[in-house]
Structure 1
Amino acid sequence: MTELAELRREVREVCRRWRADGRYRPRPDAWLRSYDPAFSKELAEHGWIGMTWPERVGGGERSNMDRLVVTEELLRAGAPVAAHWIGDRQIGPSILRHGTAELQDEILPGIASGEHVLCLGMSEPEAGSDLAAVRTTAQRADGGFRVNGRKIWTSHAHHATHSYLLARTDKTEKKHEGLTEFVVDMTAEGVSVTPIVDMAGSHHFNEVVFDDVFVPARRVIGVEGNGWRQVTEQLAYERGGPERVLSTYPVLEQLLSGGVDQDDGLLAELGELVSRLATLRSLCAQIAGALDAGEAPMRAAATLKYLGTDFEREVLEFARRATGSGVVPPDSPLGEAIMAAPGFSIRGGSSEVLLSILAKQEAQ
């Protein structure tokens, strides 16, 4: 058995044990909606958070291909990974790439141990998918910055210990300039969180208000004013992972386990979906390889996100047709996936934004 196959087996065994003990049930979109800090801490004990990071900050110094194997298996199992997902996938690598040694030492070990929970302070009520239109400001103050503004659709802000924050530190004529990235303590004075409950009654979204919140200068990620270049690199981590193609896997697994009538046409469509998934997994592996080579594969990640959104939408459309579902129970895998689906085409960048990115890079 190869090393990767053994790692895959180990992750499957942890998930199987937790399921057998009744400690979780598989859910679609689990990386965003299924939160259990105890599960994340067990993964940390196995060294499966911060796997690619240096040992000095709690990492395992393993490859992105190793990490891909772990994340694939967690997503396939619909495991409760939301407590660590954002910090492990996105903010940790950004701090490692751009942050000072002091910031790395302060934040990364807590993510790797499952103690720190990170949320994303990107989207704003009037900015939509255009991150360069953010209005939250961070003005220079003695020893740091004073932050004022609002962020919305901030998943698990009510659980988070820290927030990644994109704010404007300089008003310029060019909206892509003058942006800076920060790490903010969610317990800081002036931070308030208001829940946003979705139509299924689930609460993971929030609105976060920053009212004259002080952020120490050491909490700047990278270079002040260079936030746009840094955040576009960071989005490669957000868009380029298997969660962009496996959020609906529990639904697909049910279909593959006999949930489709033995109709030649339906079985052919199901086979096509499986073959498309294999292709998308191959693209995930290519992105992991690029990250191991020290690259920021923004174009490949945007391609994966665009194709993954389309794939996951078609999985749900096929499931409804193939199972003859009329009224779908909201707590079934299909019901939960349908409720989550409106966000698939928005988070990580709308399909229109992704096509624009690809067109611009093609023209360069």
Structure 2
Amino acid sequence: MDFRLSEEQEKFRQEVSDFLEGEIKQGLWEPSCDAWIMGHNPEFTKRVSRKGWIGLTWPKEDGGQGRSYIDRLILTEEMLRYGAPAACHWFADRQIGGAVVHYGTDQQKKELLPMILKGEAYVGLGMSEPDAGSDLASLKTKATEDGDDFIIDGQKTWTSGGNNMNWIYLVARTDPDAPKHKGISEFFFSTDLPGISVAPIEDITGGVHFNEVFFENVRVPKTCLIGVRNKGFYQILNQLDYERSGMERLMANYPLFEALIQYTKETKRNGKPLSQDPLIRSKLAQLKIGLEIGRMHMYRVAMVMDEGRAPNWESSMSKVYGTAFEQRLAGTAIEILGLYGQLSPKSKNVPMRGMAYHSYLSSKGYSLQAGSSEVLKNIMAQRKLELPSQ
């Protein structure tokens, strides 16, 4: 079996790499960890849009490029490798646009997809609630039918991108009497509507990405319903497969890996560079091996998707592996840096711009986001190994 990319794919990787290197050389932005969710840079997103790199896998008739999922993985891998500030379009491109392509009406495609392709939709993900995280079907936010509208009432928490959003993807209960998995629908609407309030959640690093979002008598037109009413949970499962299988589950902190290698080359201990220490060399080599294994997981998922199959257990496997690797990377960085690794980015003489500090604290939540590792292992056990649910 030949695992090499095609000549065209290698040229595409080089094109993306050259573009990102040019951006950095011009001083337009600085590589950083978690930039795919924290790097809110509308101008960068517009430049990416002009390259035609949003909606890469969408059908050409919907405004996309009709390219493979392998191609999209190459694109996102390079974005993460360079720590590019892609947060403005990441969610819209990764899952919302795909949901509209697969489940949207012709009118929704006409109105929504061009906006996403232009990089103008800064999307917040309104899924989790205070009492509905991994068990998403327990959500209580309700959408009550009222003529040509739905009235939304409820609360979302851990809403990714909520502090910068101008559109929100929301899952709400449209049939309170149905079994919990069968009364949920998906909506996508502007946050300009009255009755929406946002409360940012400052994380342990001092950054803001997650938010609480409150809905009080928010009147949403029925045209904002995506897909089939009351079938939203089953639509969500397909979208989560794609969300969990992206390269961002492995390489969100890749700039830390590169910086750590450089740090060991430049920093001496007992008169010798750290890179000559056998123990440190072994740790870095193990990280490199782990990274390459993770990349193979991600490319396998992309191959499954290019075959037209849903990666319903492969995505769980890649996400569990990827987040464990990122936690290991952050932990190794702290071990090598010692007390210096505990310095925040604003501290004097902090090494590597504080990436070790940020990554170590952030990584503890990676195995919870987009489905906890425990839940995903159960999915693998049931879907792949055909084990009983109890």
TM-score (norm 2): 0.89
How is 1:124-139 mapped onto 2 (pairs within 5 angstroms)?
Answer: 124-139=129-144
Q: Deviations over 1:274-312 (max 9, x none)?
A: 112112111211111222222211210010111111111
> After TM superposition, what 4+ stretches of structure 1 lie above 6 angstroms from structure 2?
none
Q: Which amino acid aligns with 2:260?
A: L
Structure with more relative contact order (C-alpha pairs < 8 Å, separation 6 or more)? 1
1:347 to 333, 356, 369: 369
Q: Deviations over 1:71-101 (max 9, x none)?
A: 0000000010000000111111122112222
1: CA distance, partners of 2:25 / 2:343 = 23
Aligned to 2:253: 248
Aligned to 1:237: 242
Aligned to 1:51: 56
1:319 to 320, 333, 348: 333
Q: Identity across aligned pairs (percent)?
A: 39
2: CA distance, partners of 1:203 / 1:348 = 18
How is 1:68-217 mapped onto 2 (pairs within 5 angstroms)?
Answer: 68-172=73-177, 174-217=179-222
Aligned to 1:283: 297
Q: Which amino acid aligns with 2:88?
A: A
2: CA distance, partners of 1:249 / 1:175 = 39
Q: Which amino acid aligns with 1:320?
A: I
**1:265 to partner: Cα distance:** 2.6
SS at match of 2:238: helix
Query: Is residue 2:377 matched to residue 1:363?
Result: no
Q: Which amino acid aligns with 2:232?
A: G
Q: Which amino acid aligns with 2:287?
A: L
2: CA distance, partners of 1:147 / 1:192 = 13
Contact 1:166 1:181 in 2 (8 A): yes
Q: Which amino acid aligns with 2:147?
A: D
Query: Is residue 2:87 matched to residue 1:64?
Result: no
**1:174 to partner: Cα distance:** 2.7
1: CA distance, partners of 2:176 / 2:25 = 55
- Equivalent pairs, count: 364
Aligned to 1:262: 276
Contact 2:334 2:341 in 1 (8 A): no
Compared with structure 1, are the counterparts of its residues 357 and 172 closer, same or farther at alpha carbon in structure 2 (3 Å cutoff)?
A: farther
Q: Which amino acid aligns with 1:129?
A: S
**1:55 to partner: Cα distance:** 2.7
Contact 1:261 1:322 in 2 (8 A): no
Contact 2:204 2:362 in 1 (8 A): no
Q: Which amino acid aligns with 1:130?
A: D
Contact 2:58 2:65 in 1 (8 A): yes
2: CA distance, partners of 1:73 / 1:253 = 13
Q: Which amino acid aligns with 2:259?
A: Q
Aligned to 1:336: 358
SS at match of 2:154: strand
TM-score (norm 1): 0.96
**1:7 to partner: Cα distance:** 1.3
